[in-house]
Chains A and B, each alone.
Chain A
Amino acid sequence: MTYRSMKAGVVTFQGHNNDEVQAYLAQPEESAPIGGVILLHHMPGWDESSIEMTRKLAHYGYNAICPDLFHRFGEGEPDEVAAVARSQGGKADDEAVGDTDGAATYLRELANSNGKVGIIGFCSGGRQVVLVASHLDTIDAAVDCWGGGVIAGGKWTISESRPVAPIDLTDNLNTPLLGIFGNDDPSPTPEEVNQHEQALKDAGKTYEFHRYDGAGHGFFDFDKPAYRPEQAQAAWGEIFKWYGTYLSS
């Protein structure tokens, strides 16, 4: 393949409650209409690996945006902001939905947008993908990568900022959902993945779950021991197939 020219940098958009949200945008330099993807980062925050994956999405032909979901915890270096977010228990669900909605609007208003917008999230961002896809009817394709806490129970409890388990919103899900999971993951466990799949099946939703042996939590993280190159390569293939189906003009 030829390498795409792209431009990338920090932008702002209006999120939940019209708050200003900073985000990293990577955009192929193509005038032909293309789809967009919103990347919801994991608990360590708006970090380098999230930004690199945003550029990867752009390299594969999507306008890709990664909002700083922790922006309400203060201004500063992403690791410092993430430390405060962590100490306060993370991002509230209503803010995640509102910020993602704002990011989707931003992507649709780009000059080369084809009007289609997908989302992808990792770990806590994977849970937010299921949540957002169950609240918004403006998302065309969703990808949950090992989202823990889709089902309440154990250490995942209902709280004031996260009042509903996403699995309980399955009836409201209006977005095709792709799930990527490692069979060695303690959260979500294979049993929890099965439970989620059964709920989707019972509700007649459009979904596809892919489970990988020899992989655990976070197996895309190329700078961590959890990285599993073969499984990651196969899973990225499924992701781009999914977006090819649902985000094409």
Chain B
Amino acid sequence: MCNWIVEKAEMKGSGKGPEGWFDVNQANVYFDHPYHAPMDHSLIIDFVETPNQVGNRVAVELSEESARRLVTSILAALESGTNSHMAVVT
């Protein structure tokens, strides 16, 4: 269904799009109809520099299962990476 629900998160970082690297200032997250992925619904993330501007984004459309695996992987990487860097500093 088209639910028009969006979760917006402020970001700090960089992304690489068709025209090169840009500042990522916001992530728009949806679970709705994808444009391209052959699925009825997908977890969509648009990483954007300037909100409400056409064309400056890095986009993914992921299955629900893939999105949940990504969340787990991000948390695992952050956990192990943080521990690793802390160990180096110590």
Chain B neighbourhood of A214, CB < 8 A: none
- The reply to whether A86 and B54 contact each other, CB–CB distance below 8 Å, is no
Output the residue of A83, A123, A216 with the most chain B CB within 10 A: A83
Among candidates B8, B35, B36, B54, residue contacting A73 with C-beta atoms closer than 8 Å:
B54
- Shortest C-beta distance, B70 to chain A (Å), equals 19
Q: Looking at the complex, which of A28-36, A42-50, A134-142, A166-174 is the stretch in contact with chain B? A: A42-50
Residue of chain A at shortest CB distance from B52: A84
Q: Which chain A residue shows the least CB distance to B28?
A: A87
What's the Cα separation between A44 and B39 when bound, in Å?
12
B35 touches A47 (CB 8 A): yes
Residues of A within 8 A of B40 (CB): 216-218, 221, 224-226
Is B34 among interface residues, defined by CB-CB distance under 8 A? yes
B33 near A77 (CB under 8 angstroms)? no
The 8 Å CB contact of B38, one of A77, A80, A223, is A223
Choose from B28, B33, B46, B52 the contact partner of A43 (Cβ within 8 Å). Answer: B33
CB atoms of A123 and B57 under 8 A apart? no
**Contacts known (A79-B35, A86-B28, A224-B39); A74 close to B53, Cβ less than 8 A:** yes
Q: B2 to A89, Cβ gap below 8 A? A: no
When distances are taken between beta carbons in the complex, the residues of chain B under 8 Å from A179 are: none
Residues of A within 8 A of B30 (CB): 86
Please give the distance in Å from A47's CB to the nearest CB on chain B: 6
Q: State the majority secondary structure of interface residues on B.
A: loop
Q: Is the CB of A225 within 8 A of B52?
A: no
Indicate if the CB atoms of B57 and A83 lie closer than 8 Å.
yes
For this complex, into which size category does the number of interface residues on chain A fall?
Answer: 35 or more
Interface centre among B5, B51, B54 (most CB of A within 10 A): B54
How far apart sit A124 and B2, CA to CA, in the bound complex (Å)?
A: 6
A213 part of interface (Cβ distance < 8 Å): no
Q: Give chain B interface residues in 24-82, CB to chain A under 8 Å.
A: 28, 30, 32-36, 38-40, 44, 46, 48, 51-55, 57, 59
Tell me, in angstroms, the Cα distance from A108 to B8 when the chains sit together.
43
Contacts of B34 in A (CB 8 A): 44
Given contacts A73-B54, A87-B8, A217-B40, contact A82 B3 (CB under 8 A): no
- Taking A87-B46, A90-B4, A185-B1 as known contacts, 8 extra A-B pairs with beta carbons closer than 8 A to each other, sorted by chain A number, are A73-B52, A74-B52, A83-B35, A123-B2, A123-B33, A124-B4, A187-B1, A224-B40
Which residues of A are interface residues toward B (Cβ below 8 A)?
42-45, 47, 73-77, 79-84, 86-90, 123-124, 148, 155, 185-187, 216-218, 221, 223-226
Closest 6 CB pairs of A and B: A43-B2, A74-B54, A187-B1, A76-B54, A124-B2, A79-B35
Which residues of B approach A to under 8 Å, CB–CB? Answer: 1-6, 8, 28, 30, 32-36, 38-40, 44, 46, 48, 51-55, 57, 59
Could you jot down 12 A-B contacts, CB within 8 Å?
A: A42-B2, A43-B2, A76-B54, A76-B55, A83-B57, A86-B6, A86-B30, A123-B1, A148-B1, A148-B2, A185-B1, A218-B33
